Chain A
Amino acid sequence: MNFRRIEIIFLVTFIAIDIFLFGMFEQNMNMQAENVSQGDSDSKIIKEMKDDQIKVGSLSKKKNFAYYLSGTQNDTLRNQMGQLLNQTPHYVGYELDSEFKDPVKVNKDNPQQSINKLLMDPTFVAFGDQYQYSKDLSTPRSIVYIQKAMGGLMYSTEAQIRFTLNGRYQIVSYTQSYLQDIKSLREKSETISETRALIWLYQYNEIPNNTKVSWAKLGYTKLLSIDDDRVFIPTWIIAIKPQNSPQVQLKKINAFTGGIIKETNENLKNSQSISGVN
């Protein structure tokens, strides 16, 4: 009986030792996994992001080329108002607000297909061929087109058309802004890659935990205004969506320097008007 008691004590002790050793073993495995993934620093940071419950899709490491651009804000749109048909345009503060007398019917599932064709008609919208559909900024009721510039797109409320649809898939009105004479200010130079932009945003602590990176686009955003001139820089626009919210937040990274672009008043207005993305 005495021997049996000793056996039980031994058994308990060894089970305790086993549990302890197993814990150590687990820890060791983790350490090993970390050592293995230490290859290049980029993938390590991406892994860190995943550990922080940040969902990231596949990222491109390709570097692009872009320009510093300038455009002029002037009354060109007002001068074009005369040729618009079937609408009552109002011109306020460099913006053209126009309501259609007869709402224009568009394709139910892909309204942009119908609008793309209509844009070629200068009596429908002025300079329509200089705009491109943006899926990311559009909602079922508001279709957004942004102005094209030197192989890129201008993410700015000063170079945009927003079509408002009613429940019967008809365009009732639109708001247009336009920048004239878009030109490069300097020869093209290399921009940072999508991966880099995201890593820097993460390192600036701008990506909260439990979020998803829904999209990242290289476009032009306004850096500063001097009188009527607007200076645009290539920017990585990164949309971040918290797991439990339909709202996306737009973050901007200067694609030349990698610096973060904080929201100024102007930009704030910009992001509010396009924040209703699902």
Chain B
Amino acid sequence: MRFSKYLIPIALTIAVIISLTLSVVIWTNPANYKNRQNSSQNTQNEEITKPKRYVYAPTQAIHTDSNGNQTILVNRLVNSVSEIQKTMHGYKNVHLKTLSTKSQDKYFQIANRPNSIMLNYVSPVSIRVISDVTNKYFEKLPNHQVSRIVLPTNDSTRIYLLNDKNFAVYQIKVKKHSLKNLNKVLNMNIRRVPASLQLFNGQPMIYVKSQIQMQPYKYLIDRQSEDYYVSRLLNNRDSQSNVTVKRRKNLVTYSDQNTLQLAFNSRTRMGTFSDFRNNSDQQSVTSVLDDSYEQLVDLGLPLDSVRFFNYDTNSRTVSYRTFVEGFPIFRANGFGTISTQTLNANAKRLQFSLDNPEVPIPSKQGYSTLPATETAIRRLIAKGYHAKDIRDLRIGYGWQKDKSSQLLINLIPDWYVNYKGTWRSYSSLINRY
């Protein structure tokens, strides 16, 4: 009786204390005020789009041996540039020094340096871009334009950068690092094509010294649907306006009735995305390429084997091509895979192909033989083309539809000539007259 007299008040006190403690704990718990973050899963896209260090990697590697003989390192089982790129780390205490500008002698002295590997771009990039490609070691250096990187294979304290436009030579002094891996790359199963760096029309160009055997390829193509891009480029934005569709002959135009327009040509299987919103109207190579990369990410095209090809400063167009064996693919109209163009402060254009090579397939065709660079130039001139209009000459693969299936293409090796600013195949130029 006496016990039960105290039981209820004690139980009540305990209950009150528990409720007070729980209230305090719950109110002071920060988790209460934190909204659960949206776990939207766009990881998939990030994985598909290749990183900057992949897209802006150099596209060609040339080895100069101890006797000064030069060879192009052609991909066979490995991608020679990627293998070299992998060894480009561990650069510490970097210092840049301008050795010379406008001196062709100094330029060729470094470019043809015995015991070195030269990595080439088609058109100049900036040191900031090269820094992105090599683990950001050169981020703080002055942002000069550069079209070639020379890595000595027997000097571990220096790297050289060259610019073809003004024959500038920069030297980067680095802390001593191991060259073992770089030299290992040279012993890999890589095909070598004899070549040399020579002047052509006042610009350095890689000459292939003798005729070269090239393997044609057959590829299964990935045919992407228009809807994919409509949803990525038009619906994905904040604008809530409706997308309208207009059809005219081969052309289907999707538009958000405001500032964005996406057109597809069903005959050429090309997409053109026009963006009339204000843009930052970038001028420097670094920001143009940064901006262009952002557009590639927005586009969401798988960038397998796609590399930066060139930046045309006149039309302000950045173009990207798919590479096979280390050689770029050219379509009939000279187009590659993607191009981004800034027209002015409120117009940008992005062009891309809906069909892209995906899986290589064994080709029954035999090797084709391409003439040496000298021979090709001589024949072009003999056909009546003006030497001064030839701006560049490089080996590439031509895109040709396969007769047996819509899903197959043939890639035909050929010389590609930049004639008066457009890329044409050597055989089409020769067979013209």
- Which A residues are closer than 8 A to B by beta carbons? 4, 7-8, 10-11, 14-15, 17-18, 21-22, 24-25, 28, 31-32, 34-35, 38, 41-42, 44-45, 67-68, 70, 184-189, 192, 196, 199-200, 203, 223-224, 226, 229, 231, 233, 256-258
Contacts and interface: CB of A to CB of B under 8 A. Distances in A.
A35 B79 contact: no
B429 interface: no
B198 interface: no
A-B CB proximity, top 8 nearest: A14-B15, A185-B360, A21-B22, A32-B31, A187-B75, A70-B362, A187-B79, A31-B31
Interface string B184-206: 00000000000000000000000
Nearest to B5: A4
B359 A231 contact: yes
Interface of B: 8-9, 11-12, 15-16, 18-19, 22-23, 25-26, 29, 31-32, 34, 36-37, 39, 41, 43-44, 47-48, 75-79, 220, 302, 304-305, 324-325, 359-362
B58 to A, nearest CB: 15
Given A28-B26, A224-B361, A231-B361, 15 more contacts: A14-B15, A17-B15, A21-B19, A28-B31, A31-B31, A41-B41, A67-B77, A70-B361, A186-B325, A186-B360, A188-B79, A189-B304, A189-B305, A203-B44, A258-B48
Contacts of A68: 359-360
Chain A interface mostly helix, strand, loop or mixed?
helix
The CB with the most chain B CB atoms within 10 A, among A8, A187, A231, is that of A187
Nearest to B76: A187
Contacts of B78: 187-188
B428 to A, nearest CB: 26
A257 B362 contact: no
Contacts of A38: 37, 39
Contacts of B8: 4, 7-8, 11
30 contacts: A7-B12, A8-B8, A14-B12, A14-B15, A14-B19, A15-B15, A18-B15, A18-B19, A21-B18, A21-B26, A25-B25, A31-B31, A32-B31, A35-B34, A41-B43, A44-B39, A68-B359, A70-B361, A186-B324, A187-B75, A187-B76, A187-B77, A189-B304, A189-B305, A203-B41, A223-B359, A231-B359, A256-B304, A257-B302, A258-B48
Given A4-B8, A34-B36, A189 B79 contact: yes
A73 to B, nearest CB: 12
A86 B12 CA distance: 92
B294 to A, nearest CB: 21
Contact of B32 (A28, A186, A189): A28
A34 B22 CA distance: 21
Contacts of A44: 39
B79 A25 contact: no
A230 to B, nearest CB: 9
B12 A21 contact: no
B243 to A, nearest CB: 27
| Residue from B15, B37, B304, B324 having most chain A Cβ neighbours under 10 A | B15
